[in-house]
Amino acid sequence: MVSEIINASGNKRIKKLLNKEIKEKTSQNLMEDELVKAWDEVHFKFGSNPNQFPPSIKSLLKRIAKGGGLPFINSVVALFNYISIKYLVPCGGDDVKKIEGNLRLGLAKGNESFIPLGATDKESPQPGEVIYFDNKTLNVMCRRWNWRNGDFTKITEATKKIVINLDGINPASQSLIEQARDELAQLLIEQCQAKTTIDLLNKNKPEIKIDL
């Protein structure tokens, strides 16, 4: 959980950090890295084609491979991108003030509502699709686990309270995920004057309580 954050539209230190990581990764064929390919396999398992609906880390790598870097949306989004590229793990967050119920990662029934980031038209996920959603309103924050974010909890300069998630699956080790999590938390404190609390969800601890 991140609170009392100052999310600027520009930050030279973060931009320099992100661009340096992009430059280092551009020359590498990371699409064949086991951490990236593992997400392809997971998507196939729940019936999603990762080539048509690429996991977020795969989308980022495709974009930087084309050259030109990444747009600086705001400080928090830039830090998400930095951590994702550095550790090759999906990373995202949501404005919790827009959420009414519990945040759930689960299988869609097909009656949920999703508006893609930057769009206005509603759509529904496919039954059985892995989604991240508000279990009270059934509004979806992210489709196909980590393919596309929803618009209603997008992070803006006005956002003050955020729940951030880093997704890890085998072969990513728990220590790798914890290292990425801790670095992101420290950067949010240093660069965005945020207050942070951290935790770890896994099969032995499938839920935590947070103050929305």
Q: Could you report the average pLDDT of every consecutive run of 10 residues in the chain (212 residues)?
A: 95 97 92 97 95 96 92 97 98 96 96 97 96 98 97 96 96 98 98 96 94 75
Helix (H) or strand (E) holding 133: strand 130-134
Range of the domain at 105: 2-196
pLDDT of residue 212: 72
pTM, 2 dp: 0.95
pLDDT of residue 210: 87
Q: Is the residue at 201 inside a domain?
A: no
Q: Is the residue at 162 inside a domain?
A: yes
Q: Is the residue at 212 inside a domain?
A: no
Residues in the chain, total: 212
Query: Residue 26 sits in a domain of what CATH number?
Result: 3.50.40
Q: Is the residue at 202 inside a domain?
A: no
Q: Is the residue at 110 inside a domain?
A: yes
pLDDT of residue 196: 97
Q: Is the residue at 211 inside a domain?
A: no
pLDDT of residue 211: 78
Q: Quick check: 197 and 177 in contact, CB under 8 A?
A: no
CA–CA distance, 33 with 49 (Å, rounded to integer): 18
pLDDT of residue 32: 94
DSSP H helices, the chain, are 12-26, 34-45, 56-65, 75-87, 174-192
Q: Quick check: 84 and 57 in contact, CB under 8 A?
A: yes
Q: Is the residue at 172 inside a domain?
A: yes
Q: Is the residue at 70 inside a domain?
A: yes
Which residues lie closer than 8 Å to 124 by C-beta, 6 or more apart? Answer: 108, 110, 111, 112, 113, 114
Angle 12-26/174-192 helices, nearest 10 degrees? 150
Q: State the residue for tokens 């699709």.
A: 129
CA–CA distance, 86 with 96 (Å, rounded to integer): 26
> How many domains does the chain fold into?
1
